[in-house]
Amino acid sequence: MSALKVTTLLDNQTVDETAGAATPLNGSRNFNVSVKWGAGTLSGVVQVESAPDKDYAGTWSNLTTFTWAAADSVDVWRGTGPFGAIRARISTVVTTTDKGVTAILSEN
């Protein structure tokens, strides 16, 4: 059994078009992305995207979209299959009175 690897893709972000660090999946076939909406959030959209490698300069492919539904909540998406790299990107500004949105990648 392999160890769980956890990577922060976005850390308390709010700005439209902010893309988190591109993270290589190195052959991981089972992973999930958790999006944590801060207590003061009022709206926003985060996309999870994939590309052949972390340095890909073209348009990344959208895997799933998280649309804000409630403050102080968590949304989770489970991915399977080999992807080269993954990132989270704010596609619509996160409106907040306090903390923004955080996205966490968990893979094994």
Domains contained in the chain, CATH given: 5-107 (2.60.120.380)
| β-pair partners for 80 | 30
Give yes or no for residue 1 having a pLDDT over 70: no
Whether this model's pTM surpasses 0.85: yes
Banded model confidence at residue 2, pLDDT cuts 50, 70, 90: low
User: Using one digit for the tens of pLDDT, what is the confidence trace for 68-101?
Assistant: 999 999 999 999 888 899 999 999 999 999 889 9
Q: What is the DSSP string of 5-29?
A: EEEEEEEEE--TT-B---EE-TT--
88, 19 Cβ separation under 8 angstroms: yes
Gyration radius from the chain CA atoms: 13
In 3D, which of 10, 4, 5, 6 has the Cα closest to residue 103? 10
5, 86 Cβ separation under 8 angstroms: no
